[in-house]
Amino acid sequence: MHKTSSLKATSALPTDIAKDLYKVAIANRNETENLRRLAPVVVEELKKSQLFRQGLPKFLGGWEDNPVEVLKTYEILASAEASVAWSVWNNHLACTFGRFLDEESMREIFKDPSHIYANSARPEGFAEIVPGGYNINGRWTLVSGCELSDWFALRCLVTGGDLPKTLGPGAKLKLFFIPKSEINIIDTWSVGGLRGTGSHDIEIKDTFVNEKYAIDFQSPVAIDNAYSRLPIGCLNSAGNAAIALGILKSATDDLVKICFERITPGKSPDLRDRLTVQTAVAKSKSLLNASRKELHGAVDTIWNASVNGETYTDEQLADVWAASVQSAASARAMLTEIYAAAGTVSLYTKSHIERAHRDIHAVLQHGIIQPHWLNQAGMAYLGIKPTGAMFRI
């Protein structure tokens, strides 16, 4: 059944599409910043590109091939506008959660190629068991893209019967797919970094959700292919790291550009003559190349294992987690060094470096890229079973 679809197929690589979108994202950076959500023209181009749908099966417009290509897409977009890359990455996660729906429900939720998706894996809502489904109440924070999205995947604590009413031992959690018509958006997104992501709070009151739209990470996967077998957690972390690398590349390129623009004939030292600037450029380029190689290599190993139907080892997963966290943290530290080396030019909001410095710090606040995942990776390397709930999922 799933081999046919009315969605438009494309043979273009996601990275080629991202390169075409690069100029659009750059040209609308100020509007994205001022609106605190993606500029309308950027949204329309992203919808047409189907980059929001990369995490879906191919018959629904997804990529369904080596995820290293998706990481490269994030990096390209982030080097233009971090909020664009973040939005594409955030949609990928919501679409990936869709793998746990039955095929009929998947087709219903993802049938419209113009739709955008938001999610929150924080269990900040409550789902009371009622006949045929659940009654949902709650308020979720930091829901990126909520103003633009048509469907939401939101995590709740399930209550009813003997189930505990608070998080802790025995708690039952599920994700619920809920249409925008049931969502109330609360304007809370007054921030510096990633301002264009529109990550406001949302609220739901007494909304019924059918059982078929409720999933958890133990639900069966409806469409079995190599992409749908990929681990969600560590690949989400890798995507976050790719965004950080793209932001660092943007700042590095801008510093080099400024150096060539600010040359005074017969007078020195210019900006490019400063030891701190020369060192920062060299370190950043080396870091970018090394981080990409490690991150892409670790993800490629996971992909090949999935293609071959193999079970991932804890060490293979640890390689992705460790490469992700370390790449992102190193990129943030390097960008701070670039910010300092550039001098007063980095103070101005028209500078890519100023925006990049804000954005990369916001990117690394996400839970999927925190240092404790390095601890989990270290446990695997030392023969201890990792305890992180998302380590293997």
pLDDT surpassing 60 at residue 325: yes
| Span 77-81, average pLDDT | 98
The pLDDT value given to residue 10: 56
Among the listed ranges 4-8, 42-46, 176-180, 257-261, which one has the minimum average pLDDT value?
4-8
| Span 132-142, average pLDDT | 98
| Span 362-390, average pLDDT | 97
Confidence tier at 124 by pLDDT (50, 70, 90):
very high
| Span 132-157, average pLDDT | 98
- What share of the chain in percent tops pLDDT 70? 96
Q: Which two tokens stand for residue 255?
A: 């510093």
Q: Which of the two residues, 191 and 267, has the higher pLDDT score? A: 191
The pLDDT value given to residue 98: 97
List Cβ neighbours of 322 (8 Å cut-off, separation of 6 or more): 298, 373, 374, 377, 378
Confidence tier at 3 by pLDDT (50, 70, 90):
very low
pLDDT surpassing 60 at residue 286: yes
pLDDT surpassing 70 at residue 193: yes
Confidence tier at 6 by pLDDT (50, 70, 90):
very low
| Span 298-311, average pLDDT | 98
Q: Where are the domains of the chain?
A: 14-109, 117-189+198-215, 232-381
DSSP 265-311: TT----GGG-HHHHHHHHHHHHHHHHHHHHHHHHHHHHHHHHHTTPP
The pLDDT value given to residue 265: 74
| Span 174-186, average pLDDT | 98
Does 1.20.140.10 match the CATH number of domain 232-381? yes
How is residue 5 annotated by DSSP? -
Tell me the pLDDT tens digit for each residue of 83-118: 999 999 999 999 999 999 999 999 999 999 999 999
The pLDDT value given to residue 339: 98
Q: What is the pTM of this model?
A: 0.96
Q: What is the fold of 117-189+198-215?
A: Butyryl-CoA Dehydrogenase, subunit A; domain 2 (2.40.110)
| Listed residue (40, 86, 295, 297) closest to 191, CA to CA | 86
| Listed residue (227, 226, 238) closest to 318, CA to CA | 238
The pLDDT value given to residue 80: 97
User: Which class is 14-109 in CATH?
Assistant: mainly alpha
- Distance between CA 356 and CA 150 in Å, rounded? 29
The pLDDT value given to residue 77: 98
- Distance between CA 145 and CA 152 in Å, rounded? 10
CB of 22 closer than 8 Å to CB of 79: yes
List Cβ neighbours of 381 (8 Å cut-off, separation of 6 or more): 315, 318
Confidence tier at 1 by pLDDT (50, 70, 90):
very low
| Span 123-131, average pLDDT | 98
| Span 283-293, average pLDDT | 98
pLDDT surpassing 90 at residue 5: no
The pLDDT value given to residue 7: 45
The pLDDT value given to residue 184: 98
